[in-house]
Amino acid sequence: MAITNYQVLTNYDNPAFTAPAGSGTAVTVIYITNKTDGDGTIDIYAVPQAGSVGEPFKIYTELTIKARDTYILDTEKMILDAGDKIYIVGNSADLFNATISTIGL
């Protein structure tokens, strides 16, 4: 199992997670923490290696996370091939932090 920490950005410059080369990676849980005293929203994308961020790959739209709260995505496991990416984009800089737990297959 591996843990990745990511400072959520307001742009699509850097993915929160990129699946490494190999037979696949399972995302077991994602924790997204709002570090401030105000509510905020995020969008989450699961993008295949050859794809780019856009509507077909959006899995959460304007998800509101209350002030000083953590949202946990753990109901379903995502299986990623090498090079697949997860993007988490917030509405404000330095508002959110994401911790992603994965396991290689």
Cβ-contact 65, 32 below 8 angstroms = yes
pLDDT at 101: 97
User: What CATH number is attached to the domain comprising 99?
Assistant: 2.60.120
How many domains does the chain fold into? Answer: 1
C-alpha dist (Å) from residue 4 to 54, 66, 77, 85, 103: 23, 23, 16, 13, 11
Q: State the residue range of the domain holding 39.
A: 2-104
| Separation between Cα atoms, residue 28 and residue 101, nearest integer Å | 6
Closest listed residue to residue 42, CA positions, set 59, 64, 18, 71: 64
Q: What is the tens place of the pLDDT at every residue in 27-56?
A: 999 999 999 999 999 999 999 998 989 888
pLDDT per residue over 49-60, tens digit each? 989 898 889 999
